[in-house]
Structure 1
Amino acid sequence: MKVLQVIHDFLPQCAAGSELFTYWLSRSLQSAGVECEVFCGEDSQVAGEAITQDEVDGLPTTRLHRRALSSTSSTKRWCADVDQLFERELSRIKPNVVHFHHFAGLSLGMAAIVKRAGLPSILTLHDYWFICPRFHLINSAGSLCSKQPGRHCIDCLWPREQSRLLNPVFGPAVWVIKRLLSKLPDWLPVVDKAKDILRESVSWLADSQDVIDDINVLVAPTAFVARKLSETGLRHRDVRVIKNGIDVSRFRNISRSPHKRPRFGFIGSHTYKGLKVLIEAFELLPAGASELHIYGRVPESLASRINLLMSRRSVYVHGSFDPGEIAHVFESFDVLVVPSLVYETSSLVITEAFASKVPVVASNIGALAEGVRHGINGLLFERGNPQDLAAKLKCFIDDPCLASRLASAAKVRMIEDAAQEYLALYKELLKHNLSRHERVAE
């Protein structure tokens, strides 16, 4: 069996959650005797070449260099040039199954190409891009989106994309037109009609549904993601839940020395990861009773506040780190804090914490509330509430044994377990595909 893994970016240039999972899954499948290759997007440019091949630890990788194609962009969802190159590489690689992990920066047309080739396909939903143009179900103000998906996506998309109904000459006037329309009442027929046309011009959910219809199985990494997909109105005949796993070998030699006061840790760079909430909560804790270790790029909006806090409290900013150093990062603190403000799909860092025998304090929303069981392997607090977070953190100050008790109950999902479930799914699809071709031949 040969499986082609398709993803928007890949190692070594990009090593975020979906890229790491794709790599671990492919390597685990290789160990099980499955032939795997990767087709990915790439932002670097190599002497004008659009396609290059290399290997990542023995994993054959085909890279599509976006900058060599003038027709690609981070916001365009369809690209004929990408489709043409992908179809050519698909014919060369000759996989039995195609496993999509992300389409962003590539082209949604790839799904139809795989279907026309008579190959079964899978899509793993690593984020909410198929139902939200901002990937994380947050609006332009950074708050959780409470509007009906699809119908109101124009509110976020408009500043980024020009309506297909407008001549490019009038592109700069799009923002002004949107502002004018927002001030006029909907009961005016022309205004209501204009708004409908503009929403339809950026038909996010409709395009997503077209692509999903071409894919055999959708895989959600958590039950929460499967429910969210259903709530948007997107429909698919076969949605499975297969939890992600991690490579636990990186954490086998972790050694954590006893410390006289609890050390809280934060890992992340984006503002929606909730560092501001954690800073506000830490300021409410008794001075000198605990430490805070921050890993990742600190948002500029928080830099001065954190610098001031560092001069008064035991706050340490370590900056970014190489993914290979993750075990050493977890050795430096006793409790991981995940104050995310968005609906996470499947938190890689929580699984890594459990593998490191570190309990987690997390926001009570999305997949975080599914992975962290309050009072068993961690604690949950009200999203965006620094007072509630401070109360949960103080529990570790008041009870020095709490961290070790919670950590002892943590269960880790290994990549080998996820790979076995995906392998069973690949075999099921191949068997069904073979039966279908036999029926057609008859």
Structure 2
Amino acid sequence: MNILNINKFHYMRGGCETVYFETAKILESHGHKSIFFSMQHPENLSCKTKDYFMPYVDLNTSSNGVINQLKSTGRILYSLKAKKLLSKLLNEYPVDIAHLHNIHHQISPSILHILKKRKIPVVMTLHDYKMVCASYLMMANGKNCEVCSGGNYLAVIKNKCVKGSLAKSCLAALEMYVHHRFFDIYDNVDAFISPSFFLKKKLAGMGFRKKIIHLPNFIDIKKFGKVKDGENGRENSLVYFGRLAPEKGLYTLIKATKLLNTNRKVEVKIIGDGPIKGDLEEKAKSDGSNNIQFPGYIKGEALYKEIKKCLAVVLPSEWYENNPMSVLEAFALGVPVIGAKIGGIPELVKEGITGLTFESGNAHELAEKIRYVLDNPGKVAEMRENARVFVEQNLNAEKYYQGLINIYQSAIGKY
């Protein structure tokens, strides 16, 4: 099959992009052909269809002038440019099915009308809560929020859900009404893929009535090799890796580190970058937490080396995580996870088996779990082995491929 893969970023930016690229890779390994449609960006990976990509736009900075602001608004609501460029690409590269990932804002769902017109089956992997929440996260004022349930998007404006900005929140609310009420544009998707049971159930509970199929993310275990005896847990360290953002619960991790009260020295490495990095560093300094390190953004083998050395990876999230790739990567490296009991995390982190869980936002309970890891090396060794076996048996590439092909064939069968 010729498969059109669509995502607004064509470089390694986060978990969504990992799934986007790895899905294309596993399909290609089974003889299928991948065609890409995305947005132009200086960090993009090499791609033969790059000339058809959407022009680059940075929506996180203020546009210069009223005209540019209006263009950005039009692009978010309904992009004629995206339809035109995708049409040109499809004229040159015919496809059998389209697999969408994150298309909002930089591309826009306007492309669904082109795919429908050409009778191209469409599936879409859900990476967040954008189908029911204008701000993706289902959070308002630092807390989990579900007031948009049933399409009550005016609440977005009242709560200034999008970056605390009234203007951006108004635009986000308008976007939701245009896409879901006026066009019902996502009715052009034949099947939605939910990597976690939690996300599937939450969307249904919020009033999203489209077809959703559960298919967890996968990890290509061959990339990580075998876990050698004595290779892991060689130092008393804990690692968080990912985006440094408010919803990730990193202030709770800093507080828990201060509460440890243990004679054993433990290093906490908060690896990554993001909008609150400077504030986190200041918080750790003011708390006198000299055992917290901020190495910055690390990737590839250098990151895996840090993870392998640690006793456990910590994921203290305070938003409804979906099916985090950071957990799968830790497990593939033979490292257990101390994860918050929120969203899809408990579907992966099984208490006492593949890791430990704690109440999201509860620094005291997180400190207890960290102490347990420090005081029970035998149990940690057991969880390391279980974590690796879990992804090998349940979240491997071949199992994902078979599930995905079944979804593709079902969608194609409609046409």
State if a TM-score over 0.5 links the two structures.
yes
Question: Does the 8 Å contact 1:296/1:318 carry over to 2?
Answer: yes
C-alpha deviation, 1:337, in angstroms: 0.6
Distance (whole Å) between structure 2 residues aligned to residue 391 and residue 302 of structure 1: 22
Q: Partner of 1:325 in structure 2?
A: 302
Are the equivalent residues in 2 in contact too, given 1:264–1:334 (CA < 8 A)?
yes
C-alpha separation between the residues in 2 aligned to 1:347 and 1:314? 26
CA drift of 1:273 comes to 1.0
Mean Cα displacement is larger for which, 201-210 or 94-103? 201-210
Say which one has the larger Rg: 1
Find the counterpart in structure 2 of residue 18 from structure 1: 16
Which deviations, in whole Å up to 9, do the C-alpha atoms of 1:215-265 show, x marking residues without a partner? 1111111111111111111211x2211111122233215555476763211
Label 1:317 to 1:201 Cα distance change in 2 as closer, same or farther (>3 A).
closer
Q: Does 1:275 find its partner at 2:250?
A: yes
Amino acid at match of 1:352: E
User: Per the alignment, do residues 316 and 76 of structure 1 end up closer, same or farther by CA in structure 2, a change over 3 Å counting?
Assistant: same
C-alpha separation between the residues in 1 aligned to 2:74 and 2:267? 39
| More moved, 243-252 vs 65-74 | 65-74
The verdict on how the C-alpha distance between 1:75 and 1:146 changes in structure 2, with shifts beyond 3 A counting, is farther
Quick one: structure 1 residues 218 and 91, their matched pair in 2 at CA, closer, same or farther if it must change by over 3 Å? same
Residues 263 and 333 in structure 1, CA contact (< 8 A), matched pair in contact too: yes
Hey, what does 1:247 align to over in structure 2? 220
Within-5 A mapping of 1:190-229: 203=177, 206-207=180-181, 210-229=184-203
Distance change >3 Å, CA 378–CA 36, structure 1 → 2: same
Q: Mind listing any 5+ residue stretches in structure 1 that lack a counterpart?
A: 46-52, 165-197, 434-442
Distance 1:78 1:142, change over 3 A: farther
Q: Which residue does 2:318 correspond to in 1?
A: 341
Within the candidate set 34, 45, 56, 1:66 is matched to: 56
SS in 1 for 2:331: helix
TM-score (norm 2): 0.84
CA-based RMSD of the aligned residues comes to 2.9
Q: By how many angstroms is 1:208 displaced? A: 9.2
What one-letter code is carried by the residue in structure 2 that aligns with 1:159?
Answer: L
Partner of 1:194: none
AA matched with 2:340: S
Correspondence list, 1:8-407, <5 A: 8-11=8-11, 14-44=12-42, 55=46, 62-67=52-57, 71-72=71-72, 76-104=76-104, 105-139=106-140, 141-149=141-149, 150-151=151-152, 152-155=155-158, 156=161, 159-161=166-168, 203=177, 206-207=180-181, 210-236=184-210, 238-252=211-225, 257=231, 262-268=236-242, 269-289=244-264, 290-297=266-273, 299-307=277-285, 313-407=290-384
In structure 1, what is the Cα distance between the partners aligned to 2:169 and 2:14? 30
Aligned residues: 386
Distance between the aligned counterparts of 1:75 and 1:388, measured in 2?
A: 45
Change (3 A) 1:43 1:160: farther
In structure 2, relative to structure 1, the CA distance for the partners of 1:202 and 1:344 (3 Å cut) is: closer
Q: Are the counterparts in 1 of residues 308 and 335 from structure 2 also a CA contact under 8 Å?
A: no
The residue matched to 1:41 in structure 2 has which SS? coil
Q: Could you tell me which runs of 5 or more consecutive residues in structure 2 were left unpaired when the two chains were aligned.
A: 59-66
Q: Is the 1:295–1:321 Cα contact (8 Å) retained in structure 2?
A: yes
Counterpart-to-counterpart distance in 2, 1:208 and 1:107:
15
My pick for the range that moved more, 329-338 or 416-425, is 416-425
Contact 2:129 2:137 in 1 (8 A): yes
CA apart distance, 1:16: 1.1
Aligned counterparts of 1:208 and 1:392: Cα–Cα separation in 2: 49
Change in CA separation of 1:323 and 1:122 when aligned onto 2, cut-off 3 Å:
same
Please report how far the alpha carbon of residue 333 of structure 1 lies from its aligned counterpart in structure 2 after TM superposition. Answer: 0.8
Pair 10,288 (structure 1): closer, same or farther in 2 beyond 3 Å = farther
Q: Which residue of 2 aligns with 1:182?
A: none
**1:400 CA drift (Å):** 2.0
SS in 2 for 1:65: coil
354-363 vs 406-415, greater mean Cα deviation: 406-415
Distance in 1 between the 2:107 and 2:92 partners?
Answer: 19
Amino acid at match of 2:337: V
